[in-house]
Amino acid sequence: METAGERAGANRSFWERTVPKLWTTPLKQDITADVCVIGAGIAGVTTAYLVARDNRSVVLIDDGPVGGGMTGRTTAHLVNAIDDRYIDIENFLGEEYARLTAESHTAAIDCAEEIVREHKIECDFERVDGYLFLPPGGSVTELMEELEAIHRAGLVAVERVDSLPNTKIQSDAVLRFPRQAQFHPLKFLNGVAGAFIDSGGKIFTGTHAASVKDDDGVKIETAGGHAITAKAAVIATNCPINDRLVIHSKQAPYATYAICLRVTRPVEHALFWDTAETAADEDQEIGPVPYHYVRYARDEQGEVLIVGGEDHKTGQAEDCEQRFSKLERWARDRFPSLGGITDHWSGQVMEPVDGVAYIGRNPGDKQVYVVTGDSGNGITHGILGGKLITDLIAGRKNAWVKLYDPSRKTLKPRVLADYIAENANVAAQFRDYITPGSAKSVDGIRAGEGAVLRDGVKKIATYRDENGNLHAFSAICPHLGCIVRWDSCEKTWDCPCHGSRFDALGRVLNGPAISNLERAEIPG
Ligand SMILES: Cc1cc2nc3c(=O)[nH]c(=O)nc-3n(C[C@H](O)[C@H](O)[C@H](O)COP(=O)(O)OP(=O)(O)OC[C@H]3O[C@@H](n4cnc5c(N)ncnc54)[C@H](O)[C@@H]3O)c2cc1C
Ligand code: FES
């Protein structure tokens, strides 16, 4: 099986443009270790590094390079100002869990800072203030109730302020979160991966995990035909590749978009987020609605502003170009001194039904651990996941175990309603079996584009490459059989059910699918 390439989409992120990815060699023999970590994004690299520091032998594999997944496509706000509201965490899970949420994300930012300092990693890490503001029509009362919940969670330095620095944004109320942080995610990842290798850890890139078995120790088989035998395994593939349904029915994949604009005068770095999700929640059928997240960064030419948002359920929208345009309009209306767009890209996040990630022992397994349900806080979730799993493997107590337990069930009515709505949405995607294709014939597919064609009872994902050659695959997702759809911006086949994504040539990029789309005859 061919392994995935340099990145998880055709568009290159700002980070991917400014720093090369780290490739090592693929695994070429059977190997044993105390712990095998699968996936070299923020969760996998930090976990491998922290477990190795605990005096265990660790092997880290990835089917692409280090940082070829969502960590290469993030915007890298490191925050305890989580995407979901503290008041909701209180309602769903209780006050103590809201406190532990704040504590764990704060600890993740501190952990990143310590690693940067200890290894002198030049990754543009900086502490910055973050500002949470209201979109037009947003409720001041709700934001003030949120501030009280934030204080109950222990973040007592968060305060109401009158305005946002260096923007044209008008908001009736603003919260300032001190001591948030930002970094260049690929510079950080490459630095931590280097420190891991220096401490004796092994990284094999271009190495696809084809199966994971938990049976008196763990055995991982690679697509290249080699076995890794370990006492424990950590599945850090963003969306777990070892679980059929338990976790996938409790989280939903959302595509999210980012653009980067040149800033034409010096600026003070800060983070900005609106509360659009909560303001517009009631108008939406399911799940989160588009909101915005903003930061600054720097390349050799100077400052840039990175604006993200316009989320939708993966595979369930066909207007990606318009979403980039909407982000641009939104940014130009609110931020001064903006020049041209330098980069644009998209990726996806996994939204857990109760707002808290799933990190810990995989349901039903003894020695297999997962980190998933990252939502828009996957950077801090990945780092705190590394700390938590290191403790679990060592048999040490950790106060966050129950909060992040992947087996937990949350029975609060709003969580159950979201759970039912998300799973009904998945069931509804099976109607694609009886609908026509997205093009009538291969003649309707332009070079560099793809379409799902109907061929009798079958649906065929058909791609015409830049040279005009056609490539055809079964459109049935190898995870649980939904029909994939073409993403014309990233040139990927996206599954609308649980987040599997495949490149134009059918190679799997994101779990839960663990194998490629099956090759098929070109429809006549
Ligand atoms: C546009 C955007 C903006 C975001 N902004 C923020 C933000 O500001 N702050 C924040 O905290 N979070 C943010 N997020 C979320 C965050 O970036 C992600 O949650 C996080 O990077 C996920 O890290 P990860 O290590 O879990 O997964 P990934 O980085 O995706 O790493 C998983 C790795 O697993 C590998 N893999 C998969 N399957 C296999 C297999 N079978 N065998 C071997 N390897 C495999 C992949 O190649 C990949 O490298 C954002 C996400 C996006 C898309
Ligand atoms: S991701 Fe589950 S069916 Fe495709």
Residue 265 identity (one-letter amino acid): R
The rounded mean pLDDT for the chain is 91
HSE at residue 98, side-chain half, CA atoms within 13 A, is 23
Q: Is 314 a pocket residue for ligand 2 (Cβ < 6 Å)?
A: no
Give tens-digit pLDDT for 143-165. 999 999 999 999 999 999 999 99
pTM over 0.85: yes
Ligand number with the minimum distance to the CA of 243:
2
Count how many Cα atoms sit within 13 Å of the Cα of residue 187 in the half-sphere of its side chain.
Answer: 20
Q: Contact at 8 Å (CB) between 163 and 131? A: no
Q: Average pLDDT of 232-260?
A: 89
Give the residue-averaged pLDDT of 234-252.
Answer: 86
Closest C-alpha residue for ligand 1 atom 32 = 237
pLDDT: is 354 or 464 the higher one? 464
- Which residue puts its alpha carbon closest to atom 3 of ligand 2? 480
Give the residue-averaged pLDDT of 484-513: 92
Q: Which two tokens stand for residue 283?
A: 């108008």
pLDDT for residue 4:
62
Residues 385-425 pLDDT 10s: 999 999 999 999 999 999 999 998 876 777 777 777 777 77
Query: With a 6 A CB cut-off, is 350 part of the ligand 2 pocket?
Result: no
Ligand 1 close to Cβ of residue 62 (< 6 A): yes
Pick from 478, 473, 427: nearest CA to 210: 478
Q: How far is C-alpha 428 from the chain's CA centre?
A: 24
pLDDT tens figures, 254-277: 999 999 999 999 899 999 999 986
Q: Evaluate: CB of 500 within 6 angstroms of ligand 2.
A: yes
Task: Quote the CA–CA distance of 467 and 140 in Å, as a whole number.
Answer: 56
Q: How far is CA 9 from the centre of its chain?
A: 13
| Phi, psi for residue 297 in degrees, rounded to 5 | -150, 180
| DSSP class per residue in 427-466 | HHGGGGGTSPPSSSSGGGPPTTEEEEEEETTEEEEEEE-T
Closest ligand 2 atom, residue 239 Cα? 1
142 band by pLDDT with thresholds 50, 70 and 90: very high
Distance between CA atoms of residues 141 and 227, nearest Å: 57
Name the band, by pLDDT with cuts 50, 70 and 90, for residue 384. Answer: very high
Ligand 2 in contact with 93 (CB < 6 A)?
no
| CA pair distance 355, 278, nearest whole angstrom | 13
**Nearest partner of 233 among 209, 251, 207, judged by Cα:** 209
Ligand (nearest to CA of 517): 2
The ligand placed nearest to the CA atom of residue 193 is 1
Secondary structure (3-state) at 137: coil
Atom in ligand 2 nearest the alpha carbon of residue 477: 4
Helical segments of 77-167, H only: 86-93, 95-119, 140-152
pLDDT in tens, 331-379: 999 999 999 999 999 999 998 988 899 999 999 999 999 999 988 999 9
Q: For residue 501, what pLDDT is reported? A: 94
65 CB near ligand 1 (under 6 Å): no
